[in-house]
Amino acid sequence: MLNSVLVVARKEVIDSLRDTRSLTSSLMYALMGPAVVFMVSLASAAASRMDAVLIGMMSVFTLVAAFVGGMSVAMDTVAGERERQSLLPLLMNPVRRREIVWGKWLAVSLFAVAGLILNLAGFALVFARSGMHLPWPAVAAGILPLAFLAASIQLLISTVCRAAKEAQTYLSMLVFLPMGLGLFQVFFPVSAHAWFAFLPVLGQQLQLEYWMKGGSAAFVPAAALGCCTAVLALLVLEVAANRLHRDEIVYGN
Amino acid sequence: MIQVQDLVKSLDSRPVVRGLSFTARDGAITGLLGANGAGKTTTLRMICGVLQPESGSVTIEPGGAGALLDHMGIYPRLTVRENLAYFGMLRGMPPAVLAERIDHVLATLGLQAVAHRRTAGFSQGERMKTALGRAILHAPKNLLLDEPTNGLDVPTVRSLRDLLRRWRDAGACVLFSSHVLEEVGTLCDQVVIVEHGRVAAQGSPAELCRQTNSASLEDAFVKLTCTGDPAIC
């Protein structure tokens, strides 16, 4: 079981790493946030402090980074595979379809996590100039699972779509989810509701802002948020795996 | 041996296969012949297990099955070897056996020269051979091919036919679908004519001709599948 999952994941990682064009665009996407915030911070350097707007921007960019790191891999790995007519031969192997989905998810997650880490590292550099440091253990527990959730949702969308181009349209729209929620929260702070801290996407946004504003980095709430996010990721992944059992996956092209 | 019993399958509540039964013997090439939309592809997909029949059963004698369906996509960013290795690993083949089998398959199909090239930009024939190599990697005793010669040039078609004959002579059960009558006539020991998801007739090409008093398999096919359309019958 684990073996086939790893075989699929390994192949998808190697395959995606060779897709240098998609890789380049994902890389630029991940570093766009730190670059923009850095430039804005230069403009407001006279104030010598990170103001709320900058922190809000940073957190939105970070949420987005979790959703763009694995985007091209997700669209290529199911919808693209279906379009190139290699999905059917793949499904003929004596491997459960759930294992195939898990393998692909692992690969997408890896790229999503890489995008997120790259983005956070970029911000860490920018913020180090003003003497601020990211609480890495809490980041790992609370923020990184967002990449797993993003990978699950993206895979689900990819199994619904029939071609990579169609998947690209919807996956690009999906990026507006963290962007919209994040911006909403920047302009209409709703942190009064305590349970928001456990909601995926919104919770991550709140935590990032809280840390950036100098709040203490408690590990336990971050880990709780991470767990909620990971559970949701697994549920969505299960839906994606079930979709692969439908006849229309085999038909229609 | 592949045995198919009363297969039924609908697509969007439209019946495609309605009670189809036949047996493909070992040491014989069985041709599944039918017009476009007769249900050949759906039947082969059910035999391979990618589609579940609504009722009926498929029995494949031990020795495993390999299939080259109409979807023969390969991975363009992987080399021929990597394409084969991926499927071999998914079948759980141990690395040493896998390497040996890949060498054997590459030699059989004449792919050694391009073995380490990525498959992007391959010709139709090279792509088909790579996909076929993937299907026969585990040395299956039963081989299914869905219109394998579509879009191939003459030399490739000939080498494919030679391969199928060699496998048959080695005792394999080869089942392939086609709508090219001439091909079925020259290659198949046994023909199963499919019409509207049912078996309209079966037998050797010569038997079918005798049965319908026809000079050619084409005439026999038309007589057997004639649905009352005066333009054809």
* Domains, chain B, ordered by start: 1-64+141-233 (3.40.50.300), 73-139 (no CATH)
Distance linking the first and last C-alpha atoms of chain A = 29
pTM of the predicted model, to two decimals? 0.91
Of residues B37, B5, B44, B45, the one with CA closest to residue B22: B5
Q: Cβ separation of A92 and B67 shorter than 8 Å?
A: yes
Q: What is the pLDDT of residue B185?
A: 87
B129/chain A closest Cα distance in angstroms: 14
Q: Cβ separation of A88 and B89 shorter than 8 Å?
A: no
Query: What is the rounded CA–CA span in Å between residue A174 and residue A190?
Result: 22
Q: Cβ separation of A92 and B92 shorter than 8 Å?
A: no
Cβ pair B44, B69 in contact under 8 A: yes
Note the pLDDT tens digit of each residue in A90-133. 999 999 999 999 999 999 999 999 999 999 999 888 878 777 77
Band of residue A247 on the pLDDT scale cut at 50, 70, 90: confident
Residues 6+ away with beta carbon under 8 Å from B89? A7, B98
Residues of chain A in contact with residue B86, where contact means CB-CB under 8 angstroms, are: 7, 11
Note the pLDDT tens digit of each residue in A182-229. 888 777 776 556 777 888 988 898 888 888 777 777 888 899 999 999
Cβ pair B177, B31 in contact under 8 A: yes
B22/chain A closest Cα distance in angstroms: 22
Query: What is the rounded CA–CA span in Å between residue B87 and residue A112?
Result: 26
What 3-state DSSP class applies to B229? coil
Amino acid at A125: L
Q: Cβ separation of A81 and B71 shorter than 8 Å?
A: no
A244/chain B closest Cα distance in angstroms: 11
Band of residue A57 on the pLDDT scale cut at 50, 70, 90: confident
- Decide: residue B29, CB within 10 A, 0-12 exposed, 13-18 middle, 19+ buried: buried
Q: Does any CB of chain A come closer than 8 Å to the CB of residue B77?
A: yes
Q: Evaluate the CA torsion angle A108, A114, A117, A118 in order and state its sign.
A: negative
Nearest to B75 among A86, A94, A251 (CB): A86
What 3-state DSSP class applies to A18? coil
Amino acid at A168: Q
Q: What is the pLDDT of residue A192?
A: 55
Q: What is the mean pLDDT of chain A?
A: 87
| Per-domain boundaries in chain A | 2-250
Band of residue A29 on the pLDDT scale cut at 50, 70, 90: confident
Which of A73, A97, A247 has the highest number of chain B CBs within 10 A, making it the mutation to test binding with B? A247
pLDDT, mean of residues A151-159:
96
B68/chain A closest Cα distance in angstroms: 8
Tokens at A178, concatenated: 């963290």
Which pairing describes strands B2-11 and B55-60: parallel, antiparallel, or unpaired? antiparallel
Q: What is the pLDDT of residue B229?
A: 60
Query: What is the rounded CA–CA span in Å between residue A123 and residue B69?
Result: 50
Of residues A160, A183, A157, A159, the one with CA closest to residue A171: A157
Nearest to B50 among A85, A86, A250 (CB): A250
Q: What is the pLDDT of residue B141?
A: 93
Q: Does any CB of chain A come closer than 8 Å to the CB of residue B78?
A: yes
Band of residue A1 on the pLDDT scale cut at 50, 70, 90: low
Q: What is the pLDDT of residue A250?
A: 78
What 3-state DSSP class applies to B22? strand
What are the two backbone dihedrals, phi and then psi, of residue B13, each rounded to the nearest 5 degrees?
60, 15
Residues of chain A in contact with residue B12, where contact means CB-CB under 8 angstroms, are: none
**DSSP string computed for B124-180:** HHHHHHHHHHHHHTT--SEEEEESTTTT--HHHHHHHHHHHHHHHHTT-EEEEEES-
Successive 10-residue mean pLDDT values, chain B, 233 residues: 94 90 95 89 92 93 86 93 96 94 95 96 92 94 91 89 93 90 89 92 90 86 73 55
Q: What is the pLDDT of residue B102?
A: 97
Nearest to B77 among A15, A92, A93 (CB): A15
Nearest to B48 among A19, A92, A251 (CB): A92
**Model confidence at A43: pLDDT above 80:** no
Chain A interface residues facing chain B, Cβ-Cβ under 8 Å?
A: 3-4, 7-8, 11, 14-15, 18-19, 81, 84-95, 247, 250-251, 253
Q: Cβ separation of A86 and B73 shorter than 8 Å?
A: yes
Q: What is the pLDDT of residue A78?
A: 94
Nearest to A89 among B77, B92, B131 (CB): B131
Q: Cβ separation of A89 and B86 shorter than 8 Å?
A: no
Q: Does any CB of chain A come closer than 8 Å to the CB of residue B11?
A: yes
Q: Does any CB of chain A come closer than 8 Å to the CB of residue B136?
A: no
Q: How many CB pairs under 8 A join A and B?
A: 67
Cβ pair A104, A241 in contact under 8 A: no
Tokens at B224, concatenated: 């057997």
ipTM: 0.90
B152/chain A closest Cα distance in angstroms: 18
Look-up of token digits 């059963």 = B57
Q: What is the pLDDT of residue B233?
A: 54
